[in-house]
Structure 1
Amino acid sequence: MRPMGYFAAVAVWWIGGAAHAEFSQSQLAALTVLSPLAQEQLDPTNAHALAECMVLAAKAEEVSRIAAFAGMAPSPVIMDLANEIIQRPAVLSCLTEKLS
């Protein structure tokens, strides 16, 4: 990797890490569950943005339910919940903002 590419990668990592500081522990755990599901649909960068938007659009009780599956394969119930959340207007608004 060229030196400038390395610094750009570090900057992206640092900015992304700063954004995660706003998430609670439950939201971070839910993000680890939703990210692989989102990556089945989109490239990794856009999938991460989608997963973040889904976590932000989820209700606290939903975040807790999803977070309980951290480190495990998500159940069909969690996949159904993720499909429900992804259809919310707040997710589309958030994703549009993050990707523009």
Structure 2
Amino acid sequence: MEHAGLVVIGAGQSDLATAALAPRHGFTRILALEAAAEPGGSWPRYYDSLTLFSPARYSSLPGMRFPGAPDRYPRRDEVVGYLRDYANRLPADIHTSTTFT
């Protein structure tokens, strides 16, 4: 059993943003539990041609700008890559292929 100051259930966009902002609120040991094989929520499983509904300039998560031209609409694989990179920079232990009851 691990001990954590904060346990985040999932590693999708909102979960990753929560883990990123948690140290600002005093949490030092952050654990994220993700059922899928990688961080990114449902994005890796969506259809290839899916794009964000908003431009990249409005799609950044806290502390990391979405790369590329700010007025373009990123495609699925770009979002998946961004979320993967974002997760790797977090001050959290992310456990993938892990279910929680």
TM-score normalised by the chain length of structure 2:
0.26
Work out which structure has the larger RCO, using CA pairs closer than 8 Å and 6 or more positions apart in sequence.
2
Higher helix proportion (structure 1 or 2): 1
Normalized per residue, which structure has more strand?
2
